[in-house]
Structure 1
Amino acid sequence: MYRLFSLLLISLLTACTTQRDAPPQRPNIVFFLVDDMGWMDSSVYGSQYYDTPNMERLARMGMTFTRAYAANPLCSPTRASILTGKHPGRFGMTTPAGHLPPNPEEDLRRTTGAPWQKVVQQGIRTFLPLEEFTLAEALQRNGYRTAHMGKWHLGQRGYWPEQQGFDVNVGGMMHPGPPSYFAPYRIANLPEGGQHEYITDRLTIEATNFLDTIGEQPFFLNLWHFGVHAPYQAPLDLIAKYEGRTDPRGKQSSPIMGGMMEKVDESLGSVLDKLEEKGLLDNTIFVFFSDNGGNMYDVVNGSFPTNNYPLSYGKGNIYEGGIRVPAIVAWPGRVAAGATSDALIQSIDFYPTLLAATGTPAEPTQLLDGVDLLPHLTRGTALKREAIFSHFPHYVIATNNLPSTAVWYDHYKLVKEYGEGPDRTPALRLYDLERDISETTDLADQQPALVTKLAAMIKQHVAEIGGLVPVINPAYDPAAESPMGRTKTFPSEKYPNY
């Protein structure tokens, strides 16, 4: 009896010691990025046009952010910010040019511009530098299996996911959008499906197949959909469904976009189902995000693809419709289910957050601009940040964007528009987003002290990141015709829908 008791005691002590010494189970990560999905493009955020039940499902599982921002109102810079945790102005990638030849030796400083431009916009880098220690590289070093699937657009050959820490790359090349949403896709590293297979479905198949290969190794699945970027194509049955629908708000009206959004929502549901089937859901951090606001400059079948109201403007513009985006983070048992947060967050925050959540050390010399959201996600702790910024010093013809830098501080936003003040000095515009989410009323004249404070913060931020700033254009001609506001039309016959 005594010997049996001794053996049981030794066994118990051994088990306790083993359990105490064993490293904690590292959570898996799925980063589900939608291209060009606006803040109002789901039922979670108030759309009454799109059917997005799986986005609602994810929102019930985790925390929905009402004030989440991309680092930039265009795709590639925001994607770079996710992977580096840095403002893209630090490495000069402030517009999406990842489809262009790499320009590592090019001097990005410019001294003259087109006659209609009041200021000279500076040059841009066309790739994510390999010197950046990406989120994938950090996780890979910590024993994670890393996979990228879908749109990349962060450089041509030599700057693809394989060179930035991903073990698996399916579809990630230089394409800004897919050559076609229907097979044949004509993307070299994306398997072709059967005739008329839809690219969102193909990426979903590849993602769930990847999950089937996972054993005990933790994984990082970077599922970055091409949807809902141009060209505008959707299955005919879904187009027909939305053709018979009217938005009670009278804002969203594109049947093709309705079909494209529903396909993305179906993909989300399939990935969640697979995680549940594999018993992985409870140990997976799931991030849902968009790279910029909804497109309100392309014209398809006579209307814009979507409508971001009550936000102003859209993709490619620094006003709210171009840069405020949907964001949901779920982690069963750690993040409160069905929670909503009005904390001010940005795409640069995911890098430090995911490092903290997985126990992954940062590179010692690495600079991170983002803040760790984990205490807020898991305990509701207030974020330790004063403001967020976006440096977007470019004219964007289709969206009427002027070269700008913006700061969000408390519920205020200051936009510095280069060259738009007297004698082509900067113009400063102040908005109270709590009372005026549509940015209709400029309060700069009413609150000069706050404008002075926020303008100084912008100046310090741009200097800190080494951002290139527009200069007065010596070739400016006030009589020159401006091309601003010209839209691009996508005729149906050019992009057939199957």
Structure 2
Amino acid sequence: MKKIVNGILLSAAVMSGTLQAEAKKPQRPNVLFILADDYGWMDMGCMGSKYYETPNLDRLASSGIKFTNAYASCQVSSPSRASIMTGRYTPRHGITDWIGAKSGEDWRSKKHYSKLLPADYVWNLPAEEYTIAECLRDNGYTTFIAGKWHLGDKGSWPEDHGFMINKGGWSAGSPTGGYFSPYKNPKLEDGPKGENLSIRLGNETVNFMREHKKMHSDKPFFAYLSFYAVHGPLQTTKKNWAYFREKAEKMGISEKGFEVDRTLPVRQTQDNPVYAGVIKEMDDAIGIVLDELKRLGMDDNTLVIFTSDNGGVTSGDSYSSSQLPLRGGKGRQWEGGIRVPALMYYSGCKAGTVCDVPIIGTDFYPTILDYAGLEMQPQQHKDGISILPVVEDNYCPERSLFWHYPHYGNQGGEPSSIIRKGDWKLIYYYESKNCELYNLAIDLSESESLNARYPDKVNELKAELMTWLDEVGARKPIADPLYDPKKEAAVKKNWRTKTLEQQEKNRKNMLRKGWEPNDDWWGSAFVND
């Protein structure tokens, strides 16, 4: 009996020691990933905007790390979102255009009379992809999404790819009901009439964090706050519009707001008061979440990442913003289309760090695993690296970054593939089979092609790009046998004249005192606050 008792006592002692050791282990960190939609590199105060107001994002930047050479994996949304989820470049997962865009012979219905037929692409995130949400879920994380998904139809929604709780993620890529309730979203219950969508998604995230701490304090969480903002259709409150209209007036309203750059008119000014209001509401929502994270005492054990899925909208869609000094914007092959804001915070990072090393959307998957102390998945996130060592040293071995967009963008983008290596950037165009070579260190605005001065560099980068395209099995556009250059010329002439004239008119009208938008979103007392 004595031996048994001693054995029990010994076992209890061992168990007690084990439990104490376990208690001393730091809890696996939470992850809060905040993704904006169509939010440009120059659309934050901490990136130099004098017009837009983003105090909460600026606060995140000052307390953490700001990346000045961060890139989305594509110039439009669905492909880059899939790359964040999978850690793979777009040709590998097959989603190379926003899901719903016309391709192949269906492209002719757009009546752009283009020289090429865009490549076909995958319309649902493949089930065999092992997403970051699935990986974290399988390692004990509670996984949550609030907001935009746009990676497939029913059967390929967030809950089919690792998210245990879904508030608002479904097939649509834009806010179907607009930015004020009712939302017309099958995965998000309507709030009171006039409730703002961005604030609602922030509050859903706060509610999740509170409930998680209450019910599962011993488990980490992965919260993916994926705003529909700042995607069109643009809507804000009358109060916000009036404030930013007056601000634009005080700053001085330019007579001319657009210039045609090869295809469509491109916005040259940051003076859209409605867009500024949408940004403010998103920033307010981010503030709500960050404040609650601190109030709950979880900020020191949470990795926070903020970025955008592509560059800001300077042409096409809502012609929302200017990304100068970057050329172009969403949908385009220049820096304005692919360079995005990116911020990161975690306990122990040096506040106010600025990292100039190029990073890309495929890097977030391995970065999260690295920070969480989880085993890497190299066969899955093969196109990304962990950013953590990069931040510590502000350096990583030189690597090439790639983009492939075999489509015509709604915003004037052209079928192209891109490579960036060091400061060099090469764009290959499928229509002309020509290249543009730029050195971003001396020409951030991509104003002068250096092909003639550096032919060897053109050949070197083009060869590497073509090899990569073959390795990843990239689909390419093909010539349209029905191509009519006269019809195409007529369409482009209309863009250079009538479209330009209309956008200038729209811009000035929105800045006019007494301007009124559609009745469907300024119809409630809440919205008119």
Q: Same fold (TM over 0.5)?
A: yes
Q: Please identify which structure carries the higher helix content.
A: 2
In 2, the alpha carbon distance for the partners of 1:50 and 1:405 equals 32
Distance apart, 1:495 and its partner CA? 5.3
Distance apart, 1:368 and its partner CA? 1.9
**Aligned equivalent of 1:52, options 51, 54, 76:** 54
Task: Tell me which residue corresponds to 1:142.
Answer: 139
Whether 1:297 and 2:294 are equivalent positions in the alignment is no
Whether 1:79 and 2:81 are equivalent positions in the alignment is yes
In 1, the alpha carbon distance for the partners of 2:159 and 2:106 equals 37
Distance apart, 1:160 and its partner CA? 0.4
**Aligned equivalent of 2:436, options 419, 429, 432:** 429
Matched position secondary structure for 1:480: helix
Task: Tell me which residue corresponds to 1:245.
Answer: 247
Whether 1:191 and 2:193 are equivalent positions in the alignment is no
**Aligned equivalent of 1:376, options 390, 409, 420:** 390
Q: Is the 8 A contact 2:63 2:352 kept in 1?
A: yes
Task: Tell me which residue corresponds to 2:205.
Answer: 207
Q: Is the 8 A contact 1:98 1:153 kept in 2?
A: no
Distance apart, 1:236 and its partner CA? 1.3
Distance apart, 1:463 and its partner CA? 1.2
- What is the TM-score of this pair, normalised by structure 2? 0.83
The one-letter code of the counterpart of 2:427 is V
Change (3 A) 1:477 1:166: same
Q: Is the 8 A contact 2:398 2:422 kept in 1?
A: no
**Aligned equivalent of 1:448, options 442, 455, 479:** 455
In 1, the alpha carbon distance for the partners of 2:107 and 2:252 equals 48
In 2, the alpha carbon distance for the partners of 1:20 and 1:299 equals 53
In 2, the alpha carbon distance for the partners of 1:110 and 1:457 equals 30
Matched position secondary structure for 2:69: strand
After superposing the two structures, state which structure 1 stretch, 242-251 or 269-278, moved more.
Answer: 242-251
Whether 1:395 and 2:401 are equivalent positions in the alignment is no
Task: Tell me which residue corresponds to 2:339.
Answer: 324
**Aligned equivalent of 1:236, options 231, 235, 238:** 238
Task: List per-residue Cα deviations over 1:34-55 (Å, max 9, x = no partner).
Answer: 1111000010100000111111
Distance apart, 1:323 and its partner CA? 0.9
**Aligned equivalent of 1:404, options 382, 397, 416:** 416
The one-letter code of the counterpart of 2:443 is D
**Aligned equivalent of 2:477, options 470, 475, 495:** 470
The one-letter code of the counterpart of 2:244 is Y
Map residues 237-386 of structure 1 onto 2, 5 A cutoff: 237-246=239-248, 247=251, 251-298=269-316, 304-333=319-348, 335-363=349-377, 365-366=379-380, 368-377=382-391, 379-380=392-393, 382-386=395-399
The one-letter code of the counterpart of 2:162 is G
Distance apart, 1:384 and its partner CA? 3.1
Matched position secondary structure for 2:45: coil
The one-letter code of the counterpart of 1:427 is N
Change (3 A) 1:218 1:111: closer
Matched position secondary structure for 1:44: helix
Q: Is the 8 A contact 2:69 2:356 kept in 1?
A: yes
The one-letter code of the counterpart of 1:314 is G
* Paired residue total: 471
In 1, the alpha carbon distance for the partners of 2:478 and 2:192 equals 52
The one-letter code of the counterpart of 1:415 is I
The one-letter code of the counterpart of 2:390 is H
Task: Tell me which residue corresponds to 2:64.
Answer: 62
Change (3 A) 1:160 1:43: same
The one-letter code of the counterpart of 2:183 is Y
In 1, the alpha carbon distance for the partners of 2:181 and 2:412 equals 35
Q: Is the 8 A contact 1:112 1:475 kept in 2?
A: no
Matched position secondary structure for 1:266: helix
Matched position secondary structure for 1:356: helix
Task: List per-residue Cα deviations over 1:201-241 (Å, max 9, x = no partner).
Answer: 11111110001012221000000001111111001111111
Distance apart, 1:362 and its partner CA? 4.0
What percentage of residue pairs aligned between the two structures are identical?
Answer: 37
In 2, the alpha carbon distance for the partners of 1:259 and 1:111 equals 36
Q: Is the 8 A contact 1:115 1:477 kept in 2?
A: no
**Aligned equivalent of 1:163, options 139, 160, 164:** 160
Whether 1:118 and 2:115 are equivalent positions in the alignment is yes
Q: Is the 8 A contact 1:98 1:154 kept in 2?
A: no
In 1, the alpha carbon distance for the partners of 2:282 and 2:225 equals 11
In 1, the alpha carbon distance for the partners of 2:520 and 2:444 equals 35
- What is the TM-score of this pair, normalised by structure 1? 0.88
Q: Is the 8 A contact 1:232 1:495 kept in 2?
A: no
The one-letter code of the counterpart of 1:173 is W
Task: List per-residue Cα deviations over 1:123-156 (Å, max 9, x = no partner).
Answer: 1111111111000000001100000110111111
The one-letter code of the counterpart of 1:360 is L
In 1, the alpha carbon distance for the partners of 2:152 and 2:100 equals 4
Task: List per-residue Cα deviations over 1:189-211 (Å, max 9, x = no partner).
Answer: 21211121111111111110001
The one-letter code of the counterpart of 1:39 is W
Q: Is the 8 A contact 1:48 1:248 kept in 2?
A: no
Change (3 A) 1:38 1:82: same
Distance apart, 1:99 and its partner CA? 8.9
Q: Is the 8 A contact 2:180 2:521 kept in 1?
A: no
Change (3 A) 1:233 1:20: closer
Q: Is the 8 A contact 1:99 1:156 kept in 2?
A: no
Task: Tell me which residue corresponds to 2:464.
Answer: 457
Matched position secondary structure for 1:325: coil
In 2, the alpha carbon distance for the partners of 1:110 and 1:453 equals 34
Matched position secondary structure for 1:493: coil
Task: List per-residue Cα deviations over 1:246-279 (Å, max 9, x = no partner).
Answer: 2479620111011100011111111110010000
Q: Is the 8 A contact 1:289 1:327 kept in 2?
A: yes
In 1, the alpha carbon distance for the partners of 2:85 and 2:192 equals 33
Distance apart, 1:111 and its partner CA? 12
| Structure 2 segments unaligned to the other structure (5+ residues) | 1-12, 255-268, 507-515
Change (3 A) 1:163 1:98: farther
Distance apart, 1:385 and its partner CA? 4.1
In 1, the alpha carbon distance for the partners of 2:480 and 2:174 equals 33
Change (3 A) 1:53 1:229: same
RMSD: 2.7
Q: Is the 8 A contact 2:407 2:415 kept in 1?
A: yes
The one-letter code of the counterpart of 1:40 is M
Q: Is the 8 A contact 2:205 2:289 kept in 1?
A: yes
Task: List per-residue Cα deviations over 1:461-496 (Å, max 9, x = no partner).
Answer: 111211112233333333332545856989932653
Matched position secondary structure for 2:283: helix
